[in-house]
Chains A and B, each alone.
Chain A
Amino acid sequence: MARRPDEEYDYLFKVVLIGDSGVGKSNLLSRFTRNEFCLESKSTIGVEFATRTLQVEGRTVKAQIWDTAGQERYRAITSAYYRGALGALLVYDVTKPTTFENVSRWLKELRDHADANIVIMLIGNKTDLKHLRAVATEDAQGFAEKEGLSFIETSALEAINVEKAFQTILSEIYRIISKKSLSSDEPAPASIKEGKTLVVGGSEVNAKKTCCATS
C-alpha cells in the first residue's frame, strides 16, 4: 500500500525541545504542530511527542518533535531521546533569569548525550509578558554567538516567531544533511523512513479534543 499523499515527505528530522520547567516548551510545540495554545497546560512527564510536515527549502520535511520534562530528575529518562536528534530547541523564559542561567547546564547535557553535530537553537519564550522581562535580548544574543547557537525570541501565546524558529532550525538541519549527502554520494540520511504502510485512524481528532479548547 502506498503512503497517503499528505504523509509523503522527503526527509524526517528528529528534534528535541529542552529547557527548564515552565518555560513554555509544550506550548511552543502545540503552537507549531496544531496552532493551539493551552493556558491550562499540565507539566510534561517524561517525554511527549508531536509531528508536523512542512516545506523547507523546497523539500517536504516531516518534523518529529520530542518534548521533554524540564525537571532535573527526569534527565536520566529524557536524555535517552537526544540520541539520533538532528536538532535541539533550547528554551528559556525571558521573565525568569534562572531559566536563562541554566542554559549552560542544558548545553552540557547535550554535549554529553547528543550527537556531536546536533544543530542547537536558543529560544527566549514569553515575549508577550513585556512588563516582566528580566533577560535582555542582547545578553542572550551575545551568549548565543559565543556558543555558536542560533537565537530567536518567541511568544507561543501570541504566535510570534514560533513558525520562524522551527523553520530556521529545520532549514539549518536540511543544509547540513544535504551537504553531507552530496559529499558522501548517499541519497538519503539514515533518519529517513520510507515504505511504511500507514492506516490512519482517529488519533488526530483525539489529540485535538484533549486540549483546553473544550473546557
Chain B
Amino acid sequence: MMSNSTNNSNSNSSHREDDRKESNSTLTGVDSRFNQTLRNVQGLLKGRSFPGKVLITRRSDPISDSGLRSPDIDRSFSDKDAGTSEQLDDSVEDEIQSNSKTNSSSTKSRSLTVNTESTSKESQKSTMGARATDSARLTKFTKALSGPTVILDKMRELAWSGVPSYLRPTVWRLLLGYAPPNSDRREGVLRRKRVEYLDCVAQYYDVPDTERTDEEVTMLRQIAVDCPRTVPDVSFFQQAEVQKSLERILYTWAIRHPASGYVQGINDLATPFLVVFLSEYLEGSVDNWSILDLPLEKISNIEADCYWCLSKLLDGMQDHYTFAQPGIQRLVFKLKELVRRIDEPVSRHMEEQGLEFLQFAFRWFNCLLIREIPFNLVTRLWDTYLAEGDALPDFLVYIFASFLLTWSDKLQKLDFQEMVMFLQHLPTQNWTHLELEMVLSRAYMWHTMFNSSPSHLAS
C-alpha cells in the first residue's frame, strides 16, 4: 500500500486534476487513481522519460510485475508479455522522442513538473513490489463490493485501472447503473429486469414478419447480415446460438430506440458484454467455450444483462447513432483539435497530406476501438470506459489521441495513401495489456493537463 504522505505530496497538483470529475470524485479519490496510473506507467517505462519533462526513476522490477492484472490474466498472457517486452521498449522510446519535441509549451511543462516531483517520490516507494499492490487492490475491490451499499465513486476509481476478471460482471453491472448499489435490492431488480427483457423479446422479436413494418423488416435483415460477421476472428462468435442471442439483443434494442435504430457497429459493442457475462458460467479461454453447455434459463439471463448494459452504455451516446451521427462528428472534430495541441508536427503533416480525421477516426468512435485492438484486450479497455461513466464521450477523445500518437513518428514518414492504409490496419495484433495501459495512462495525463485549461480546446 502507498503511504498517505505520498498522496499528500500529490494534492497540490490534484486541484487541477479533479476538474474532470466534478461530480463523482473527492480529492483523495483522484489522487489515488492518478498514483495508480503513474505506477502503471512506471512499470512500463522503466526509467525512461515521459512526454515533456517528467522523469521517472529506474525500477528494477521486471516489466511483467508491473501491471494490475488479475491472477487469471497473468496466467494466460504472461508468455506473450515476456515475448514482447523488448518490442514495447522500442515503441515507448519512439513515443518519447516524438513527444518530447512537442511538449515544450510552458503551461504543459509546468503542470508536468508538478507531477514529476510526486512521480519520483512515488516510484521510490513503489519499488516495494507490484504483487503487493495487486493483492491490496483485490482486497479493496472485495471490500468495496461487500458493504450494504456500494459507493459508486469509490468503485469507479478502483475500476478505472482495471477490474479483476472474476469480479468484472458484478462491477460492470454496478458501474452502468443496471444493478443498484444497495445489495438488498440487487437480486430483486435484476430478476425484474430479466423478466422485462424476455417480455420485450416476445413482443418485438418473436413475431412473424407480416406483423413488422417495412423498416423493421429491413432492420432485422441488416442485423441478420451483421451477426455472422461480428468478431469473426473469435470462433466462439461463429456458434449459431451465440449469433441468435446477439440478434435478439440488437433487434430488441433497435426497436426500442427508434431515433437511431440499429446502426452497423452496435453489434460490435454488444460483444464485450456477452463475453463478460458468459464468463460467470463458462470457464477457461473464450476460444473453448460452447454456449450449448448452458441451460436456456442462464442464456436468457445473460442476454438480458447484455441488453440492459448495452442500453445503459448507449444512453450516454444517443446522438452517436442518429441521422448523420452528429455526436461522432463532434468528437472527431475535438480529437483533431486535441491532437493539434499535443503534437503539432503530426497534426501539420496530416493536414498537408490532406488526411481527414473522419477517414480513420470515425470507426474508432463508432465501434469504441473494438475493431482496432486484439479482442482479448477489449474488456480491460472497457473497465476504464465504464468507470468514466457520463464523462466517457469526452474522455474517448483523450484515449484516441493517445492511441493515435502511439505512431507519431511513423505517421510523419507516410504520405496520404500510406497513412490511410496504415490507420485502417494498425499493427496492434501483438499488443498486450502493457501497450494498452500505456495508451490509457497517457490519456489520463493529457486529460489532467488539458482539462485544466478548457480554452486549449476552444477554437
Given known pairs A42-B371, A203-B421, A203-B422, the reply for A73 and B233 (CB within 8 Å) is: no
26 contacts between A and B (CB under 8 A): A21-B264, A40-B232, A41-B229, A42-B230, A42-B232, A43-B225, A43-B229, A43-B264, A45-B264, A45-B265, A45-B366, A46-B358, A46-B362, A49-B420, A50-B421, A51-B417, A71-B264, A76-B324, A76-B325, A77-B358, A196-B415, A201-B413, A201-B418, A202-B427, A204-B421, A209-B425
Shortest C-beta distance, B84 to chain A (Å), equals 15
Point out the residues of chain A lying under 8 angstroms from B231, CB to CB: 42
Whether the Cβ atoms of A40 and B362 lie closer than 8 Å is no
| Chain B residues numbered 336-362 whose CB sits less than 8 Å from any CB in chain A | 358-359, 362
Interface size (A, Cβ < 8 Å)?
37
Whether the Cβ atoms of B420 and A21 lie closer than 8 Å is no
Point out the residues of chain A lying under 8 angstroms from B58, CB to CB: none
The 0/1 profile, CB within 8 Å of B marked 1, for residues 22-56 of chain A is: 10000000000000000011110111111100000
Q: Give the A-binding residues of B (Cβ under 8 A).
A: 221-222, 225-226, 229-233, 260-261, 263-265, 267, 321, 323-325, 358-359, 362-363, 366-367, 371, 410, 413-418, 420-422, 424-427, 429
A134 within 8 A of B: no
Shortest C-beta distance, A133 to chain B (Å), equals 18
Q: How far is the CA of A122 from the CA of B359 in the complex (A)?
A: 26
Contact of B362 among A51, A77, A98, A203 (CB under 8 A): A77
Q: A98-B221, A204-B421 are in contact. List 4 more A-B contacts (CB 8 A).
A: A45-B367, A71-B263, A73-B323, A210-B429
Whether the Cβ atoms of B421 and A41 lie closer than 8 Å is no
Given known pairs A42-B232, A43-B229, A76-B323, the reply for A199 and B413 (CB within 8 Å) is: yes
Question: Which residue on B lies nearest to A50, using beta carbons?
Answer: B421
Contact of A41 among B232, B261, B265, B425 (CB under 8 A): B232
Point out the residues of chain A lying under 8 angstroms from B429, CB to CB: 209-210
Q: How far is the CA of A37 from the CA of B207 in the complex (A)?
A: 36
Point out the residues of chain B lying under 8 angstroms from A47, CB to CB: 359, 362
Point out the residues of chain A lying under 8 angstroms from B414, CB to CB: 199, 201, 203
Point out the residues of chain A lying under 8 angstroms from B420, CB to CB: 49
A215 within 8 A of B: yes
Whether the Cβ atoms of B264 and A74 lie closer than 8 Å is yes
Contact of A22 among B225, B362, B363, B367 (CB under 8 A): B225
Shortest C-beta distance, B337 to chain A (Å), equals 20
Number of A-B contacts (CB under 8 A): 102
Whether the Cβ atoms of A73 and B232 lie closer than 8 Å is no
The 4 tightest CB contacts between A and B, nearest first, are: A40-B232, A76-B324, A46-B362, A22-B225
A200 within 8 A of B: yes
Contact of A45 among B230, B233, B260, B362 (CB under 8 A): B362
A207 within 8 A of B: yes
Shortest C-beta distance, A29 to chain B (Å), equals 12
Contact of A40 among B233, B267, B413, B416 (CB under 8 A): B233
Point out the residues of chain A lying under 8 angstroms from B323, CB to CB: 73, 76
Q: How far is the CA of A41 from the CA of B422 in the complex (A)?
A: 18
Point out the residues of chain B lying under 8 angstroms from A212, CB to CB: 232-233
A183 within 8 A of B: no
Point out the residues of chain B lying under 8 angstroms from A51, CB to CB: 417, 421
Point out the residues of chain B lying under 8 angstroms from A74, CB to CB: 264
Given known pairs A42-B229, A43-B229, A199-B413, the reply for A49 and B421 (CB within 8 Å) is: yes
Question: Which residue on A lies nearest to B217, using beta carbons?
Answer: A98
Q: How far is the CA of A73 from the CA of B414 in the complex (A)?
A: 32
Point out the residues of chain B lying under 8 angstroms from A184, CB to CB: none
Whether the Cβ atoms of B325 and A77 lie closer than 8 Å is yes
Point out the residues of chain A lying under 8 angstroms from B358, CB to CB: 46, 77, 80
Point out the residues of chain B lying under 8 angstroms from A42, CB to CB: 229-232, 371
Q: How far is the CA of A199 from the CA of B226 in the complex (A)?
A: 37
**A46, A51, A204 — most chain B CB neighbours (10 Å):** A46
Point out the residues of chain A lying under 8 angstroms from B226, CB to CB: 21-22, 43
Point out the residues of chain A lying under 8 angstroms from B233, CB to CB: 40, 212, 215
